[in-house]
Structure formats: C-alpha cells, structure tokens
Structure 1
C-alpha cells in the first residue's frame, strides 16, 4: 500500500520568487523521513508539493519532477484531488471540523470524495480509523460529541484518523506536535512508529530529538540568507545525520550553533 517518492530537480515558486531550489531526494516506502532546518528554509513549502497543496496558493507553481512509485504527480492527466486522497496531510495545529461530531470528523474525507457508505460500513470505517490512530478506546462512548471537545493531543489523533480513513499511501505531517504537551507528543510519536508499518511518512519538525526518535532518514534544509531560496543541504540515515553528518552546516545546526 505504501509508496516511495522520488523528487528530482524540484524548484518551487511563489509567483516570480524562487522559494526552494534544486531538491533531489528519494523517500523510502514504509519509513519515516524527517525534514529539519531553520524557520523559513522551505521545509513546509516542500512538504506541500508532495500532495499538490502548494499550487492552491495563487501564483504558486513547481518545476521538476515528483514521482510516486514512478507516476508523476504533476502529469497533466493526474487529478490533484486524487493526489490529495493518496497523500494525506496532518497540519501543525489540530483542526477538527468544529460543527462535526467525532464520528463525522473521521468520515469527512470520504464524504468529500462523494463516497456513499451504508451505516454499517461507516461504523466500520470510523472504528478502524480511530483504532489506527490509537483513539478508539478513549472516544468510543462519545462518538456523537463534538470533535472540538477533545484535548489537543486527542484532536491531533482525530485528525490523523480522518487522514487515514480515506486509505492514503503517504502521510505528510507538518510539525504535528508543536502545539502539544510532552505527554501528547509522546503519544503521537508512538503512533508514528505504528503507522510506518503501513504508510510512508514525511514529517517536518523543529525538534531535533523528535527527528532522532521517529525517523529512519533525515533531510536538512537551509538557506544562504534572507531572500535566497531554501536548499536541501544533506539527506542521510538519521543515525548518520546526528552523529557524523557529511556537511559542516548540518553539524552546526544540529549542535545548536545556529537556527
């Protein structure tokens, strides 16, 4: 089910401004890849190109290739809505739909795709997704209650359940723990370890310890200065990045000398 991603010569623009330049990387299926680097270096911008959310911004565009199992995401014949179903996204702040119950939040993506479900099928999808997000036991007796009534960590796991309910192959996570307390962060990290058995996961994080804990590979992004494009400086197995990185700039960032 999970798929690999190959990125080659990727340039990302906002209008005429080149935001990220010349990214080449391979993201392995059924693994966690962490994107690290200082604020403003293009990590989240790059992440959004992997499910074509970048182009939703007026004037935004990309050059280069993003292939998922050999299929170009940006081929003219490819439906961006289908891409976003295949490549799920979890955002920095938990964003359950405020007017919806926990139950309806989980089903929101399927409803958006006009998928007709019987009550029994819907029940099965909700339970499977909530179990997959390690949330079922906490909410099974209050599925009709508002999703916004959950704690922050539970809301984020509800958003993960919503993302996996549509059965994507890839999960993108943009700083999913930055708004959470340490206990909720630990729960999300445990969940990431479980999810990588089924999904390819790419996570943006500013937390070096988190990157070291959850990922197999780490990509370090940086930029030469204000107004310059972000670049991929180095991508290597996480153990190597955090012990003997190839680039001096990577070592300087990880050791806290800048950023």
Structure 2
C-alpha cells in the first residue's frame, strides 16, 4: 500500500512569503523518515504539503512538483480530498471526536469520505484498524464508550487507527508524541516501527533520540534567520546524520549546540 514520494524543486508559499525553499527529496516506500530542525525552519510546513493540508490557509500554494509514485498531486484536476485519503495525517495533540464513541471515531474518516458499508464490514474495519494501532486488546470491550475517555497515549493510537481505517498509502505524523508521557511515547514509537511494514511513514519530531530510534532516514531542515525561508540542509541514513553528518550545521544541531 505504501508509495514513494518525490519532491522536485518544491517551494512553499503563504501569500507572497516563501516559507520553504528549493526542496529536493526522495522518500522510499515502506520506510520511516524523520524531519528534524529548529522551530520555524519549515519542517511542519513541508510535511503539510505532502497531503495538501497547507492549502486550508488562504493564499497558501506551492511551486515545483510533488510526486506520489510518479503522479503529481498538484497537477490540474487533482482532488485534494482524494489526496488526503491516500496520505493520512496524525496531529501533534490527540484529537478524537469528543462526542463520538471509540467505534465511531475509527469509522469517522470513511463517513466523511461518503463511504457506506454494512455493519459487518464496519465491524471488520474497526477491529482491523484498532489491531493495526495496537489498541484492540485495550478497548475491545468498550467500543461504545467515548473516545475522549481514553488516556492520552490511547487517544493518539485511536487517531492512528482512524487514519489507518481509510487505507492510506502514506502516514504523516506531526510530533505525535510531544503531548505524551514516556510510556505512551514508547507505545507509539513501537507502533511506528510496525506501520512501516505496510506504509510510508514521515514524522516531524523535536526529539533527537526519537528520530534516532524510529527512522530509517533523517532530513535536517534549517533557517538562515527571521524572514528567510526554511531549507533542507542534509538528508541521509539516520545513522549518518547522527554519527557522521556532512554539514557543520547538521552536526551542531544534533549535538545540541543550537536549536
């Protein structure tokens, strides 16, 4: 189900302001790629271009190409809603729908997409998605309880189950563990390692140790100063980024000299 991502000379704008400049990157299928860098360097903005989420802000647009298995998701006539079905997003803070049960939360994406399925098929989707998010055993006896009643870590895994339910090919995660305790963080990190067996996973994180633990490749973004665009400085195997970076600014960042 996973897909390769190619950004070719990609520039991201908010109105006339260029927020991210000249990104060229290839993200392989069935892998975990981490985006790291100081605050304001454009890593989350770039992440949101991968499923056209940045376009929800007026005036936001891109120049260049963004390919999923060779198909440009910004080509004329491409439906952004269809793109977001193929490229799911898990946000920084767990955001289950508070008035919905656990079961309804898992199925929410399907209903938003207008899909109608039988109760039997819905039951199968709920179980498969919750198993995929390593949550089934914890919630199988309370599927009709509110999703908001779960712990923070469980809520985040419920959101991942909701993402999985629509059968995407890419899963984007914007600092998915920043609001979680260490035990919940470990559970989500273990899940990320399992998800790459089926999906292309891209994660933004400020946690260097987390990037080192979960990712196959790491992309370091940086910014020259206020008002300047963020840029991709270095992209390589995670072990190289942390042990033998080629750029001094990468070394300074991963060693804690700034950021």
Q: Same fold (TM over 0.5)?
A: yes
Q: In structure 2, what is the Cα distance between the partners aligned to 1:128 and 1:157?
A: 13
Please state if 1:153 is matched with 2:145.
Answer: no
In structure 1, the residue matched to 2:232 is 232
1:56 to partner: Cα distance? 1.0
In structure 2, the residue matched to 1:196 is 196
Q: In structure 2, what is the Cα distance between the partners aligned to 1:142 and 1:159?
A: 16
SS of the counterpart of 1:114?
coil
SS of the counterpart of 1:61?
strand
In structure 1, the residue matched to 2:175 is 175
Q: In structure 1, what is the Cα distance between the partners aligned to 2:18 and 2:66?
A: 17
| Aligned-residue RMSD, C-alpha | 0.4
In structure 2, the residue matched to 1:18 is 18
Report 1:1-259 matches (<5 A). 1-259=1-259
1:75 to partner: Cα distance? 0.7
Structure 2 portions without partners, runs of 5+:
none
| Offset from partner CA, 1:24-72 (integer Å, 9 cap, x none) | 0000000000000000000100000000011110011100000000000
- Name segments (4+ residues, structure 1) moved above 6 Å: none
Q: In structure 1, what is the Cα distance between the partners aligned to 2:20 and 2:79?
A: 24
Q: In structure 2, what is the Cα distance between the partners aligned to 1:169 and 1:47?
A: 15
1:77 to partner: Cα distance? 2.0
SS of the counterpart of 2:222?
strand
Q: TM-score, normalised by structure 2?
A: 1.00
SS of the counterpart of 2:34?
strand
Q: TM-score, normalised by structure 1?
A: 1.00
